[in-house]
């Protein structure tokens, strides 16, 4: 593993995180650093723990040992190094610092596109109705859906829903954006519009940690790629290095070969 353990500029600092569901160990001493402005992509076969890792970062899942810090603050547990869970209020405040976009969109079906974005702005950030509305409209514009502000999720296509999902996450101005296989539930022809939005956010310097099966996108958009296998980090490096066909990492080579066989 090639992670420098005293990188003080790491915005996200995952150290030795392990987690089991019953007898199945899904994360084995995972360490990973993401610095400000970086786009880090996690790839790996299904069941390798990618999604669980992402969900631990905003404490949608708890973990058994290790530590996850964002901007120096421990995420789910009280500082320093105790295993005592944060209070509900603290956890909520911590989660507001990370944005998350889900595979299944998870838009609130009873709220309009703008309403979905405004909820966190109003209730978590304490912004006024008017201010929240103007921020929502700004972000809907950014994702190309200015004209859909008052549509309900059910009236939007999958690609549009996911773009609202992204706008909902970034409107909170999170320190880091977590993207969990955000194109996996989309019809192939809708994938492009969503990835275009992610790319433009990356160009603006948004720090991102994403799990994806879109290898071409991972290669083009990431600063680094993390390859996970069996719950552990198996390889980390720049895209060219990781996705090179002549890699010496046996598991990675098998994964890439299988992947190429089924996707190209």
Partner 1 sequence: MLTQIAYALPFLAQGFALTLWVSLLVVVLSLIAGVLLGVGLVYGPVPLRWAVRIFSDTIRGIPILVLMFFVYYGVPAIGLHLPSFWAAVLALTLFKTAQVIEYLRGAVGSIPKGQSEAAMAIGLTFRQRLAYVIFPQAFRRFLPPWINGVTDAVKGSALVSLLGITDLMQAINQVIGRTYEAMPLYILGALIYFAVNYALSLASRRLERRFSFIRE
| Closer by beta carbon to partner 1, 90 or else 193 | 90
Determine which residue in the list 19, 50, 86, 95 makes contact with partner 1, applying CB under 8 A. 95
Contact flag: residue 154 with partner 1 (CB under 8 A): yes
Distance (Å, whole) CA 222 – CA 238: 8
Return the range that interacts with partner 1 (CB under 8 A); candidates 37-45, 94-102, 139-147, 192-200: 94-102
Smallest distance from partner 1 to CB 8, Å: 26
Smallest distance from partner 1 to CB 249, Å: 33
Contact flag: residue 146 with partner 1 (CB under 8 A): no
Determine which residue in the list 27, 43, 56, 100 makes contact with partner 1, applying CB under 8 A. 100
| Closer by beta carbon to partner 1, 88 or else 246 | 88
Determine which residue in the list 44, 76, 99, 231 makes contact with partner 1, applying CB under 8 A. 99
Contact set for partner 1, span 185-244 (CB under 8 A)? none
Contact flag: residue 104 with partner 1 (CB under 8 A): yes
Determine which residue in the list 23, 84, 88, 262 makes contact with partner 1, applying CB under 8 A. 88
Determine which residue in the list 6, 23, 89, 189 makes contact with partner 1, applying CB under 8 A. 89
Determine which residue in the list 168, 183, 190, 209 makes contact with partner 1, applying CB under 8 A. 168
| Closer by beta carbon to partner 1, 92 or else 216 | 92
Determine which residue in the list 28, 35, 119, 244 makes contact with partner 1, applying CB under 8 A. 119
Q: Which residues lie below 8 Å from residue 231, measured CB to CB, with a gap of 6+?
A: 25, 26, 27, 28, 30, 48, 49
The DSSP line for the chain is ----TT-TTEEEEEEEEEEEETTEEEEEEEEEEEETT-EEEEE--TTSSHHHHHHHHTTSS--SEEEEEETTEESSBPTTT--PBPPHHHHHHHHTTEEEE-TT----TTS-HHHHHHHHHHHTS---HHHHHHHHHHHHHHTT-GGGTT--GGGS-HHHHHHHHHHHHHTT--SEEEEESTTTTS-HHHHHHHHHHHHHHHHTT--EEEE-S-HHHHHHH-SEEEEEETTEEEEEE-HHHHT-TT-S-HHHHHHHHHHHHHH-
Q: Which residues bind partner 1 (CB under 8 A)?
A: 58, 60, 88-89, 92-100, 102, 104, 106-110, 119-120, 123-124, 153-154, 168-169, 172
């Amino acid at each position: 593993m090639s992670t420098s353990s005293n990188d003080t500029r790491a915005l996200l600092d995952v150290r030795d995180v392990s987690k089991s569901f019953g007898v199945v160990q899904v994360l084995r001493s995972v360490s990973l650093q993401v610095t400000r402005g970086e786009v880090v992509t996690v790839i790996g076969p299904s069941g390798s723990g990618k999604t669980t890792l992402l969900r631990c970062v905003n404490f949608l899942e708890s973990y058994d040992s290790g530590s996850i810090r964002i901007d120096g603050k421990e995420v789910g547990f009280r500082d320093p190094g105790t295993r005592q869970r944060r209070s509900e209020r603290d956890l909520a405040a911590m989660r507001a610092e990370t944005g998350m976009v889900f595979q299944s969109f998870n838009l609130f079906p009873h709220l309009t596109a703008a309403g979905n974005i405004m909820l966190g702005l109003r209730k978590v950030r304490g912004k006024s109705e008017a201010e929240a509305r103007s921020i929502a409209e700004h972000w809907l514009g950014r994702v190309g859906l200015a004209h859909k502000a008052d549509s309900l999720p059910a009236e939007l296509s999958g690609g549009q829903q996911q773009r609202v999902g992204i706008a909902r996450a970034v409107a909170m101005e999170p320190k880091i954006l977590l993207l969990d296989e955000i194109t996996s539930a989309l019809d192939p022809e809708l994938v492009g519009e969503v990835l275009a939005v992610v790319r433009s956010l990356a160009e603006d310097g948004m720090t991102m940690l994403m799990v994806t099966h879109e290898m071409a996108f991972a290669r083009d958009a990431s600063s680094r790629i993390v390859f996970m296998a069996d719950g552990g980090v198996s390889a980390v490096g720049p895209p060219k290095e990781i996705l090179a066909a002549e890699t010496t990492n046996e598991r990675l080579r098998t994964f890439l070969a299988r992947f190429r066989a089924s996707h190209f």
